[in-house]
């Protein structure tokens, strides 16, 4: 039997629009989670005085603190299979404090579900400026998640009326279009996460809807070709010192492939060495390629030459290290406006580094890409712009065009994501 292709699916949307409940119920109907577990969650939920309202959500929210607060904090991972694919489901937090997780989650995602609510007023809040559905949609698009499904949830709360669905579909379509998705390629599926309509089985409550269920629509996702033929890029997530083994960095191969005895270079230090061994989940691998999460043992590279945020590559085509670069950003959240000289923290692949936005080159119409204004004095929420960014120390980063996986980033400040962006051009390179 051929193994199924694997896809990472991220679930996004505004807090309380029912992301966790919808996916928890979906997993139960699919048989991934048994009803006993759900019944147990219902009992525990009753004990907290919340009734049984969280029984499905808790499948995803399995951290005690999240249950007590009734919100999704960390990224919960669940695996499930459809007739065609093997999925890892990433439940993205809706809360702003946790959007940093959303960025690291979204950058790994191949496809996404955006959950909107059919209840009067709830979608308006979610897609208004500052709403999380709007923020997530912008982030998904900017961070290169090309495939999207919109689940119109809480249909049971609006008596399964087609009008309620159409109203949300119209608003949701405008949102998707404004961030650059082709609306005719985004399915809108009316569901009830609470009652289970159109998750796995076709609902009998919405005869007016002739489209697919959530499960069926998952098999319409496409698998993108893995960038195996590009030069090697491995952002380092952690570095362990293991007695008797030595230095063991851990990371995900974003592009290219590697095998033991390959020569490698670590940037920005420029330290060179070779791969002694590669393993994943305590299994030795003969090679690793784009998409693999691995640990590896290096010969000739000391622990102080390699740290989280560094990038390993091949000496013949080493990772680029930027002193300054030009980027296109979208401002997602800021109480006032930002002006040149602003220094938030940049999150890019596994790196976190303070970075100064040194110049605003031009303001861009996000829908058309045309230049609206040259050298704007400031940028506010909703603005899209070409800017110059200078990290406080040289940082390994690539252009989005050459390496999408290595060329997207977020700017964070005061506990919130201020902007998301992609690298257009490296204007000043660092050589070790």
Neighbours of 241 (CB within 10 A): 9
Do 409 and 335 lie in one domain? The reply is yes
Q: What is the pLDDT of residues 163-207, one digit of tens each?
A: 999 999 999 999 898 888 999 999 999 999 889 999 999 999 999
Do 61 and 204 lie in one domain? The reply is yes
Sequence-distant (6+) residues with CB within 8 A of 406 are: 233, 235, 254, 255, 311, 319, 348, 349, 396, 397, 398
- Check residue 364 and give its pLDDT: 85
Last residue of a domain, one of 270, 287, 313: 313
* Pairwise CA distance, residues 152 & 18, whole Å: 10
**Residue 75, pLDDT above cutoff 50:** no
Tell me the mean pLDDT in the region 69-93: 67
Confirm whether 69 is domain-assigned: yes
Confirm whether 124 is domain-assigned: yes
Q: Quick check: helix, strand or coil at residue 285?
A: strand
Do 204 and 275 lie in one domain? The reply is no
Do 269 and 353 lie in one domain? The reply is no
> Length of the chain in residues, anyone?
432
Q: How many domains does the chain have?
A: 3
- Check residue 57 and give its pLDDT: 57
**Cα angle for residues 180, 185, 187 (degrees, 5° grid):** 110
pLDDT category at 128 given cuts 50, 70, 90 is confident
**Residue 385, pLDDT above cutoff 90:** yes
Do 178 and 255 lie in one domain? The reply is no
**Residue 329, pLDDT above cutoff 60:** yes
Do 178 and 134 lie in one domain? The reply is yes
Confirm whether 153 is domain-assigned: yes
pLDDT category at 121 given cuts 50, 70, 90 is confident
CB 172 within 8 A of CB 152: yes
**Residue 67, pLDDT above cutoff 50:** no
Do 49 and 197 lie in one domain? The reply is yes
CB 386 within 8 A of CB 364: yes
Confirm whether 371 is domain-assigned: yes
Confirm whether 224 is domain-assigned: no
Do 307 and 166 lie in one domain? The reply is no
Last residue of a domain, one of 282, 313, 344: 313
- Check residue 126 and give its pLDDT: 82
Last residue of a domain, one of 264, 297, 313: 313
Do 355 and 290 lie in one domain? The reply is no
Long-range CB contact pairs, 201-208, < 8 A, 24+: 201/29, 203/155, 203/160, 205/155, 205/156, 205/160, 206/155, 206/160, 206/162, 206/165, 208/162
E strand intervals along 211-270:
233-242, 246-252, 257-258, 263-267
- Check residue 55 and give its pLDDT: 54
Sequence-distant (6+) residues with CB within 8 A of 121 are: none
Do 283 and 391 lie in one domain? The reply is no
Domain that holds residue 294: 233-313
Q: What is the pLDDT of residues 87-117, one digit of tens each?
A: 887 765 544 434 445 455 555 678 999 999 9
Tell me the mean pLDDT in the region 234-252: 87
Q: Please state whether beta strands 408-413 and 384-391 pair in parallel, antiparallel, or not at all (unpaired).
A: unpaired
Q: Higher pLDDT residue, 147 or 14? A: 147
Q: Is the pTM of this model over 0.75?
A: no
Do 299 and 194 lie in one domain? The reply is no
Confirm whether 364 is domain-assigned: yes
Confirm whether 402 is domain-assigned: yes
Sign of CA dihedral 106, 225, 266, 344: negative
Do 71 and 119 lie in one domain? The reply is yes
| Beta-carbon-side half-sphere exposure of residue 177 (alpha carbons within 13 Å) | 8
**Residue 29, pLDDT above cutoff 90:** no
**Residue 71, pLDDT above cutoff 50:** no
Rounded percentage of the chain residues whose pLDDT exceeds 90:
47
pLDDT category at 127 given cuts 50, 70, 90 is confident
Q: CATH no. for residue 371?
A: 2.40.30.10
| Averaged pLDDT score across all residues of the chain | 84
DSSP state of 84: S
Confirm whether 139 is domain-assigned: yes
**Cα angle for residues 299, 300, 305 (degrees, 5° grid):** 115
Q: CATH no. for residue 25?
A: 3.40.50.300
């Amino acid at each position: 039997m051929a193994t199924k292709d694997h896809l990472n699916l991220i679930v996004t949307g505004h807090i309380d629009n029912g992301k966790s409940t919808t996916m928890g119920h979906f997993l139960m109907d699919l048989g991934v989670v048994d009803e006993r577990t759900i019944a147990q969650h219902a009992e525990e939920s009753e004990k907290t005085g919340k009734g049984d309202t969280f029984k499905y959500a808790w499948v995803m929210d399995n951290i005690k603190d999240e249950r007590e607060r009734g919100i999704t904090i960390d990224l919960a991972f669940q695996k499930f299979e459809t007739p065609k694919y093997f999925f890892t489901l990433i439940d993205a937090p809706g809360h702003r404090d946790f959007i940093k997780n959303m960025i690291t989650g979204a950058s790994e995602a191949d496809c996404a579900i955006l959950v909107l609510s059919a209840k009067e007023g709830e979608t308006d809040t979610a897609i208004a400026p500052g709403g999380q559905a709007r923020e997530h949609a912008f982030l998904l698009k900017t961070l290169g998640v090309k495939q999207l499904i919109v689940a119109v949830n809480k249909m049971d709360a609006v008596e399964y009326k087609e009008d309620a669905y159409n109203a949300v579909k119209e608003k949701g379509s405008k949102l998707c279009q404004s961030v650059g998705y082709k609306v005719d390629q985004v399915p809108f599926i009316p569901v009830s996460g609470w009652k289970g309509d159109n998750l796995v089985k076709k609902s009998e409550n919405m005869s007016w809807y002739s489209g697919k269920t959530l499960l069926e629509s998952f098999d319409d996702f496409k698998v993108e070709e893995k960038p195996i033929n590009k030069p090697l890029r491995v952002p380092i997530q952690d570095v362990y010192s293991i007695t008797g083994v030595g230095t063991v960095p851990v990371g995900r191969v974003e592009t290219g492939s590697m095998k033991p005895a390959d020569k490698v270079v670590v940037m920005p230090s420029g330290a060179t060495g070779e791969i002694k061994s590669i393993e994943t989940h305590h299994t030795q691998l003969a090679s690793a390629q784009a998409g693999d999460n691995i640990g590896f043992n290096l010969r000739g590279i000391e622990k102080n030459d390699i740290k989280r945020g560094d990038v390993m590559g091949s000496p013949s085509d080493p990772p680029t290290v930027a002193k300054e670069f030009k980027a296109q950003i979208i401002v997602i959240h800021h109480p006032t406006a930002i002006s040149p000289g602003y220094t938030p923290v940049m999150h890019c692949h596994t790196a976190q580094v303070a970075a100064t936005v040194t110049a605003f080159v031009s303001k861009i119409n996000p829908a058309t890409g045309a230049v609206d204004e040259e050298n704007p004095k400031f940028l506010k929420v909703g603005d899209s712009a070409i800017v110059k960014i200078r990290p406080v120390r040289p940082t390994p980063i690539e252009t989005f065009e050459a390496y999408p996986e290595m060329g997207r980033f977020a700017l964070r400040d005061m506990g919130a994501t201020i902007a998301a962006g992609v690298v257009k051009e490296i204007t000043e390179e660092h050589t070790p």
